[in-house]
Amino acid sequence: MSKVFSRRDLEFLLYEWLDVESLTARERFAEHSRETFDAFLDVSAQIAERDFAPHNRKNDLFEPTFDGTRVEIIPEVAAALKSFNASGLISGSMDAEHGGLQLPHVVHRACFLWFQAANIATASYPLLSMANAGLLLAHGTEEQIKTFAYPMIEGRFTGTMCLSEPQAGSSLSDVLTRAVPAGDGSYRITGSKMWISGGDHELSETIVHLVLARAEGARPGVKGLSLFIVPKHLVGPGGVVGERNQVALAGLNHKMGYRGTTNAVLSFDGATGYLVGEEGHGLAYMFHMMNEARIGVGAGAVALGYTGYLHALDYARERLQGRPVVAKDPAAPPVAIIKHPDVRRMLLAAKAYVEGGLALVLYAAKLLDEPSPGNDLLLDVLTPIVKAWPSQWCRLANDHAVQIHGGYGYTREYPVEQFYRDNRLNSIHEGTDGIQGLDLLGRKVVMRGGAGLAALVDLIKETAAGAPADLGAPVREAADRLLRTTAKLWADGDPATALANSTAYLDAAGHLVIAWMWLSQYAAADGKEGGFYDGKRLAARYFVTHELPRIGPLLDLLDSRDTLLADLDDACL
Ligand SMILES: Cc1cc2nc3c(=O)[nH]c(=O)nc-3n(C[C@H](O)[C@H](O)[C@H](O)COP(=O)(O)OP(=O)(O)OC[C@H]3O[C@@H](n4cnc5c(N)ncnc54)[C@H](O)[C@@H]3O)c2cc1C
Say how many C-beta atoms besides its own lie within 10 A of residue 569's C-beta: 6
Strands 206-215 and 157-162: parallel
Cα separation, 135 vs 145, in Å, equals 10
Taking CA atoms, 354 is separated from 62, 196, 301, 309, 384, in Å, by 29, 28, 9, 8, 17
pLDDT value for 326:
87
Q: Which of 63, 279, 292, 430 is catalytic?
A: 430
Cα separation, 17 vs 362, in Å, equals 10
Measured torsion, CA atoms of residues 113, 115, 118, 120, in degrees rounded to the nearest 10:
-90
What b/e readout covers 430-469, taking b as 16+ CB neighbours within 10 angstroms? bbbbebbbbbbbbebbbeeebbbbbbbbebbbebbeebee
Measured torsion, CA atoms of residues 500, 502, 505, 506, in degrees rounded to the nearest 10:
-170
Cα separation, 573 vs 569, in Å, equals 8
Band of the pLDDT at 266, cuts 50, 70, 90?
very high
Cα separation, 331 vs 145, in Å, equals 72
Which residues share a beta bridge with 190?
178, 269
Say how many C-beta atoms besides its own lie within 10 A of residue 534's C-beta: 12
Average pLDDT, stretch 521-533?
A: 98
Residue with CA at minimum distance from ligand 1 atom 43: 434
Band of the pLDDT at 239, cuts 50, 70, 90?
confident
- 35-49 pLDDT, tens digit per residue, is 999 999 999 999 999
In the reported structure, the alpha carbon of residue 86 is separated from the centroid of ligand 1 by a whole-number distance in angstroms of 34
Average pLDDT, stretch 350-361?
A: 98
Residue with CA at minimum distance from ligand 1 atom 35: 434
Q: How many helices (H) and strands (E) does the chain have?
A: 21, 11
CB neighbour class for 371 (10 Å; exposed up to 12, middle 13-18, buried from 19)? exposed
Q: Which of 187, 233, 244 is nearest to 212 (CA)?
A: 187
Q: What are phi and psi of 264, to 5 degrees?
A: -115, 145
pLDDT over 90 for what percent of the chain? 96
Residue 238 reports pLDDT greater than 90: no
Residue with CA at minimum distance from ligand 1 atom 12: 164
Spatial neighbors of 343 by CB under 8 A, at least 6 apart, are: 316, 337, 404
pLDDT over 70 for what percent of the chain? 100
Residue 54 reports pLDDT greater than 90: yes
Residue 453 reports pLDDT greater than 80: yes
pLDDT value for 288:
85
Q: Which of 376, 398, 393 is nearest to 518 (CA)?
A: 393
Residue with CA at minimum distance from ligand 1 atom 37: 170
Strands 263-276 and 225-231: antiparallel
Rg of the chain over all Cα atoms, to the nearest angstrom: 24
535 three-state secondary structure: helix
The chain-wide mean pLDDT, for the chain, equals: 97
Cα separation, 286 vs 560, in Å, equals 37
pLDDT value for 129:
96
Residue 328 reports pLDDT greater than 80: no
In the reported structure, the alpha carbon of residue 503 is separated from the centroid of ligand 1 by a whole-number distance in angstroms of 16
Instruction: Look up 430 and say whether it is catalytic.
Output: yes
What b/e readout covers 372-385, taking b as 16+ CB neighbours within 10 angstroms? eeebebbbbbbbbb
Band of the pLDDT at 276, cuts 50, 70, 90?
very high
Q: What string of H, E and C letters represents the secondary structure of 50-98? A: HHHHHHHHHHHHCCCEECCCCEECCHHHHHHHHHHHHCCHHHCCCCHHH
pLDDT value for 237:
83
In the reported structure, the alpha carbon of residue 175 is separated from the centroid of ligand 1 by a whole-number distance in angstroms of 13
Residue 321 reports pLDDT greater than 80: yes
Band of the pLDDT at 67, cuts 50, 70, 90?
very high
- 86-125 pLDDT, tens digit per residue, is 999 999 999 999 999 999 999 999 999 999 999 999 999 9
Pocket test for ligand 1, best of 128, 263, 432, 506 (most atoms within 8 A of CB): 432
pLDDT value for 486:
98
**Start-end of H helices in 425-468:** 433-439, 447-465
- 160-212 pLDDT, tens digit per residue, is 999 999 999 999 999 999 999 999 999 999 999 999 999 999 999 999 999 99
Residue 352 reports pLDDT greater than 90: yes
CB under 6 Å to ligand 1: residues?
A: 160-164, 169-170, 195-197, 255, 258, 263, 425, 428-432, 434-435, 438
Residue with CA at minimum distance from ligand 1 atom 23: 169
DSSP 261: S
**Start-end of H helices in 198-318:** 282-318
Average pLDDT, stretch 276-284?
A: 97
